[in-house]
């Protein structure tokens, strides 16, 4: 059928949260159910919907997944599909009505369990000052966020209108704010007009009727606005003042007038006007510049002594240091402010260069690797009892001697030890192959070459 002839938006019936807002402190918003009056409103909405429909109309419902909207839909369908009070059967079969739960029609998220009533009242006042559309509930969402997901639903709904078997009447059972946001997106209303709209009553019908000439939907229902309410109240107040009798002020003889007034000051003290509410910044006045946040005291590390290095031969990388170098024990000063503090109860340990990042971490080259210090890691490059200074520069500490650049003899010796350039091949673990494995590898290479030739264009027989 294409586009439905009518779109009806219905706000849910009265819920326990509408009757007592403090219930949201204990029950999640999506689990709040209808009251007894709410069930009566939902069933009455089903009778009113039945009077609007034609006997040959087909229906499709989209409902929010919240409990109060699903129960409202159930109450509407109960009276819509049942026999009327006069006993006439309903032309609408319950099994022929399609009902879909649409999460994008859910209520604006107010942030899980709500705080106390005083905090919620302060939040509503703050939202009124900031603006209902852009104000985001703490841990929740704003009306602008709800507008985004409703926009996606509108696009989905519009695409479904292209189906040939789409029903003739589409009913959306949702919430008050979502109804206004839906209309704002559909009719391209401004934010200012959305702010001026009042909420929709429980089970109130917002009817959008399709124009046969151009296929557009006209809003038949009238929405209430705050500006019209203010004008109405101003007219009522002016009419009440005009009808009220004017007070009579009798003329008092100046000679008999109270003379105590001459002793009063000329200007009577009046109460100070209430300052405007201030939500952002520091409400009670900014005093942060006087705050002092104490820092943790730094603990000093014990001094580390750089012992005299013992060299066994000229191959040591620092064997050729200049004369007059540090040959006596020199102590390193305690921790300076540049070092990190030590946690209480932790034993201070000295971090060597290999514990830091960069090129000194991981597995160093043979001429850079220090000994483990237990005598088992003796090498030709470092003394096992040598203590390396910290990487951080300490004032008064022994300077690290410069490293000697490797000579050509070192490079040649390292190349011979590694086996590079000798033609030897290693297995997956890096071990040298045994004597019989080299012949097997040569035969394997010949088989691979023969296989490549068979699979090539010249040797292929496929």
The edge-to-edge listing of strands for the beta sheet with 98-101 is 98-101, 59-63, 169-174, 6-11, 205-210, 217-219
Pairing of strands 169-174, 59-63: parallel
In 3D, which of 174, 181, 153 has the Cα closest to residue 69? 174
95 is catalytic: no
How does DSSP classify residue 113? S
Cα–Cα dist 175/108, whole Å: 9
List the catalytic residue out of 24, 43, 71, 102.
71
Listing DSSP states for 278-310 in one string gives: --SS-TT---GGG---PPPPPPPPPP-EEPPP-
71 is catalytic: yes
**Residue position matching structure tokens 């237990």:** 374
Within 13 Å and on the Cβ side, how many CA atoms surround 122? 11
**Residue position matching structure tokens 């007009």:** 193
Q: Is 421 left (phi over 0), alpha (psi -120 to 50) or beta?
A: left
Cα–Cα dist 193/184, whole Å: 9
**Is 147:181 a contact under the CB 8 Å cutoff?**
yes
**Is 166:3 a contact under the CB 8 Å cutoff?**
yes
**Catalytic center residues:** 12, 71
């Amino acid at each position: 059928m294409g586009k439905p002839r009518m779109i009806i938006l219905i706000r849910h019936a009265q819920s326990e949260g509408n009757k007592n807002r403090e219930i949201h402190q204990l029950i999640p918003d999506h689990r709040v159910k209808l009251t007894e009056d709410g069930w009566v409103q939902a069933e009455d909405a089903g009778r009113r919907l039945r009077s609007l429909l034609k006997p040959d109309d087909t229906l499709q419902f989209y409902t929010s997944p919240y409990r109060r909207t699903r129960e409202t839909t159930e109450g509407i369908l109960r009276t819509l599909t049942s026999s009327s009070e006069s006993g006439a059967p309903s032309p609408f079969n319950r099994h022929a009505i399609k009902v879909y739960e649409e999460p994008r029609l859910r209520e604006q998220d107010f942030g899980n369990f709500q705080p106390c009533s005083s905090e919620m009242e302060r939040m509503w006042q703050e939202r009124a000052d900031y603006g209902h559309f852009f104000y985001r509930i703490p841990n929740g969402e704003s009306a602008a966020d709800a507008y985004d997901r409703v926009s996606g639903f509108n696009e989905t709904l519009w695409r479904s209108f292209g189906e040939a078997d789409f029903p003739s009447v589409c009913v959306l059972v949702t919430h008050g704010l979502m109804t206004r946001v839906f209309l704002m997106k559909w009719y391209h209303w401004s934010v200012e007009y959305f702010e001026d709209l009042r909420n929709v009553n429980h089970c109130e019908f917002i009817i959008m009727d399709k124009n046969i000439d151009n296929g557009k939907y006209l809003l038949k229902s009238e929405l209430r606005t705050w500006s019209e309410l203010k004008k109405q109240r101003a007219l009522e107040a002016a009419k009440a003042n005009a009808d009220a009798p004017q007070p009579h002020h009798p003329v008092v003889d100046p000679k008999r007038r109270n003379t105590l007034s001459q002793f009063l000051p000329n200007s009577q003290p009046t109460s100070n006007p209430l300052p405007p509410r201030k939500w952002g910044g520091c409400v009670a006045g900014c005093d942060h510049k006087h705050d002092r946040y104490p820092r943790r005291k730094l603990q000093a590390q014990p001094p580390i002594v750089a012992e005299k290095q013992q060299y066994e031969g000229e191959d040591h990388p620092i064997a050729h240091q200049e004369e007059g170098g540090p040959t006596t024990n020199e102590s390193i000063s305690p921790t300076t402010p540049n070092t990190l503090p030590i946690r209480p109860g932790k034993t201070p340990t000295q971090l060597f260069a290999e514990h830091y990042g960069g090129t000194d971490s991981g597995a160093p080259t043979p001429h850079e690797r220090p000994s483990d210090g237990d005598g088992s890691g003796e090498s030709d490059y470092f003394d096992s009892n040598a203590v390396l200074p910290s990487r951080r520069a300490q004032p008064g500490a022994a300077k690290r001697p410069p490293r000697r650049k490797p000579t050509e003899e070192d490079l040649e010796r390292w190349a011979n030890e590694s086996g590079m350039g000798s033609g030897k091949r290693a297995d997956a673990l890096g071990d040298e192959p045994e004597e019989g494995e080299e012949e097997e590898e040569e035969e394997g290479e010949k088989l691979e070459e023969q296989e490549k030739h068979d699979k090539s264009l010249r040797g292929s027989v496929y």
